[in-house]
Structure 1
């Protein structure tokens, strides 16, 4: 509206000038006219109300009165006006409204003020009445009917047009009007915002900018008393974040910048002439004080005071930013809050061809300059035209390495030069052999049921048992093969071992899957008489086998003997008493590798391992129990019985067998400290004088 009037003034000057207009004046006129058009294009209407013959349903402001007389709509020809009903002239009525605003630098406020005209007695007695306009609780304008000319266009009321351009940048605005006149009002109210700021700032953070706040997230909260405050309170028709102390702190992480600007509204309650201290990165940059609040017979929100903090063009280039607001409020009798926070950083103009926000080379853009992708020999603006040898160009203009050329490129893990599946490498990625359920880097660790792992292949059991020759070639030997190959052979289990095996869950599995062989490995080692060893020794010499090698009558060649030069003689070693063997906990041992374990033992990498927590007690191990959990004081912890207090050894029923020293067994197989041993057990004994004499101070 105000911009339209300014343009009209310029056009009228041009129309009614009597003297000849020079070319320079004409140029200046059109320049001003162009600037006005730019300003109009940046103007945005926020609110428009109380025009024409409106009714009371149009009223959307807040009224605060002592006598609750409300308001009325008075008629003035074809137009209406809003009139506050008061009984006295003592600032009895005020009206207020808060508006949410977009980013801006200027507001234009226009409305028609109505006040009851001075009577003859008022003029004789020099009685004057005033109207007060507050912007964000700051007194902005005072209109006295004795000093301003009111038009007498609707007796007994006169009107005065108010049109103000006000510098303002906060994301909300509260407009408050009050008068000491008995009858006053307004109409034709319009609010516009104008943005004249050049595009040199980037908004990076904005919060607490809505009039109504239903909740405040942890990210929008501010730190006070080492706690992130999310406490919401209301004052008139807006909400704010309240501090329980006297300060607020918030940290930010910013991208590359050289300057910052910010806006923050601080509200102080129940404190006259408060002071606020504003710090950036622990540096004091602003100190403000104010004593401006709305003067009325009805105090608003404990006479709250609003101070607007606006920091512009502050030199700052650190990634981390800390903002701190400290006030003179004590947090109890007087308190403070904040709202309408906005943080800006400056744009940094960069000279670059491309920007992919990483430092990876050969991805089309490096160091903000175009480059070629992996495998590309010629590219334009990061787009590949031709690929290197061994690469081909896909439809997305990306070079892909050729798989099957025996060359490792880019994301190829392996390349065996063929497309055969199940051969450890397929499509240039590791692959599992057929019928393998667990493999690592193409090497099989575990085959499916009824398959044996032989030379990284899962071979069916039936195939291994077809004939004796196959058994020799694959390593599945019977008694006599073991006799010829070693200085002893692996025998059948004795009766005690067989009984233990039959109780195992794996017994049926073993019987049904190993070709009916009568031998179950690793139970015992049978030695032959010395003359047989001598016979083998002589036979090896006759065949001319080198040292550490022996003649194999089955293979008809010299084979390497067990290397026991390290003198290691442990049952868990592959070489025990110079005889290749599995550990005692193994049920099935083939080619010195274990394929089945005792009950409670887990097969890991062809070794039997005791695993505490698998809910199985490993036979012949040091496990006393295994309840499958790590709960303390449930009777079993770390696979050992949890005996009672002062108990050193107990059975599976937790009955104590051996008590600790200085303790003795009592009923129900429990232990308790010995009274009379001159040793005081804290928590159970108060004293111990080594006797049972009464009345000697300890009994």
Structure 2
């Protein structure tokens, strides 16, 4: 099930559906009106195609609605279907019947590529009627080996003479499509894409007056030319509009192309009228520098009539001497290279010595040859000349004495026979009794090996010799080499080097010495290992070969160059069967079994004595699906188990799929079944992915079980947008009735790989580190502000930043860059903050909670759906605050007691220190009022609301007491939130008495709380609706941003700026996540999604950095204020000291003056007394 398929007018992201127990392409609510599935494939040289598929007809087809299959320009399948013909419900509407139809189509085809187009004439939506398909298979009838182009009638010698002279525009990928080669006149030179199919020219690119020209140079000698191309016809071509091809200004081919139907729905765009046409033209041609033109006589504008082209190939037919086909420049062709046999080098030839040869008939001879008129032959003349009375008489060669040209005496070792001297085999062989003894009188004695000789007649021979024709000769075959023998190998085998005790050449050898072949072999023999041997399979019948069919197929009439009978043949002659075995019939020289005769043959899986299908044994004697036949004729219906693959989830860069079966299955061989699972990803090298098999329940030997395997898949490339996983089982599995799997191969569409290069991962981790440092820095600065007296700053900052941590729960497939970044946002939540301080969950058994699995993105981040897990963090927060408050009260009371202690009365400075600390402590206790608790609740409200909503969406087992506890906590939280809302609503009636801007600012916590409730509700309750979830969150953030912008206040301007920055970043982030929707993934390349993710990360990190700067600014102001107060305090104290010193001086002067006055008054008093006296 390869999703290299392209689809018209339908989203391909979830095109694979479940129909009954099968996964199919399309199906219910998928393929219907105006929908089509297409595929473009590049094929090896072939002459015929066969297509098979399983077609699913779903719901109410009307009987006049057709399923259609186009292959290039041909409508090869157009059959109507009716919903009334269905047998059972599969996957459509429950009240209607569906059907599965097996389609098989076979047709001629020779193009380099094939465009397959599956569609229907349905006129209603997919809810009412639909279709789907599975097990699409394409079979090729290939050309003979070595052939680049052929048709169904071609033999090897017919097609292997085609040579590719030019090829262009054959690439399938638009990015690799090269436009060089042809010159385009009056048209667009650029490439164009029609429904992912790249072409030169194209819709509205080329049309009226456009010409395509190509000149080929220095072509080898040839007799024919063949031009193949795929032509894209677009628009409203009329009957008089024609496509033309000229070669060297000669019209080769023209056709209006209007008789060919358009595709039912346009491929270039939904309203387009178009069709791809495979054209193949063959014509005589022999010029070496031809110029080819593609022309047309279109008369309308490009918008109405246009065209495109691709897959242009030009072949030439070469001359091959020896193919037994007389072609141009050849006088003859006898298929061999033997001279003087009438045809040599594909030219007429005559016998050796012929000087005038015409049509293989010799009409004259060279000098030294005698022309035999009766035989049209030449005979070599071997003569010597003698002169007699100026008249030259010619004697035959090797003649010593001749009279009037008639030889009378021959040279030594030659015998006079018919006026010619013929060489003798033995120089010692003389004829006794011819009354001629030119050399010796011993010629009439008996053979030297004769033991009893009388009057030249031998009566007996020496031992080991036998008498034959008055000669004593050795016994050939006794392994003893006698004088009359060259050799003796003890056998009568010919061509083994010694035959009849004389040296003989091996079979096929033309030149040998003493039985050993030298190097010259006869045609059809090859010199190997010092011998001439034939090679079976070289297409030449020689030596002991009876036939040659150039293959090693047994039972095809010729096997290993010996005649062989077809299988199951009883009697045959030279590979041709005459009679077959019982139970078989002779069809086209093959003995085929007689299906339906009740006799089970080797080729038959069953034979129940009839030719009816549907009873378990089909009309071709094959066991039907979901049937088991015992002994070949006892068939019972048993549902076959089925291999099923399904997608589970995608976790970051890992994708998880499941292999399972529709029934319990078992192994019938004792093996580790994991080794029998072959996994691959279509169009990917094995180095580009890693697949790990995790056993859930393995297949067991002779024990049925629910077998299941989990596959963990990691893909190391983004080359494929939607990879296809292929699962192949090399070992069959069986159910408890020994029924085998109905399929051992399955396909599964995977999600888009979430893969980053090493460099991108490092960059993302760097951004994550910046984010973590920013978070921690903001925490530290907020704590410093708390120490400096701004206790609410920490809660406000935490409340604002927590919004970022919830963005990761948006249920879209984030790229790995954002997944890495979101790991840093875990520092923001209250739960993570407390866990980072102390891992109390693991150290305190009282705080442990059972893990309840969540769903979708919450499951991905392993969020515990048990509310008690998250609520304990909030309890710890408020418990810590309560302990702090009680401790402060106790400490204040202790200080009051110490102040009144008599023991400390002797330490006035320490008492004053305690009094100062008591005043500060009282000041902090007064701040710990209801507003402080409210601020704390608001800061924790993100987690509280999230826990409550997640608990409400979880399943509950009311037989377990913890369910009641969890729901009680949930309702307590909701009541607290409701009370907070009520408290914030107070004063709404009197808002007109206040300044509107001040009212909006004071009610900001209320609007923020409403926003939190809405955001968390959308995240939790719309977790499975990514489109609605994203749109609602964007809308909520946008409305809140508008509110923040319109909230004008001069008192808290800095807070407003921070809010605007935060809300703007959140709005932009949620709006930009639309590119991560499943339905839009196919429209964006993964590189583009990564780029957008960098921009999104920039938004979020920028907010953190700006918040950090604001906090630094606030700290600087606070520190500056503290320093200013300290300086003022010191100056005030210094002034106070100076005033005190001045006052003391004045008091001293006053005392001195008073003392002086007292002295003066005393003196005056004494003087007065003395005067009175």
TM-score normalised by L of structure 1:
0.37
Higher helix share: 2
Asked which structure has the greater CA Rg, the reply is 2
* Higher RCO (CA < 8 A, seq sep 6+): 1
TM-score normalised by L of structure 2:
0.23
Higher strand share: 1
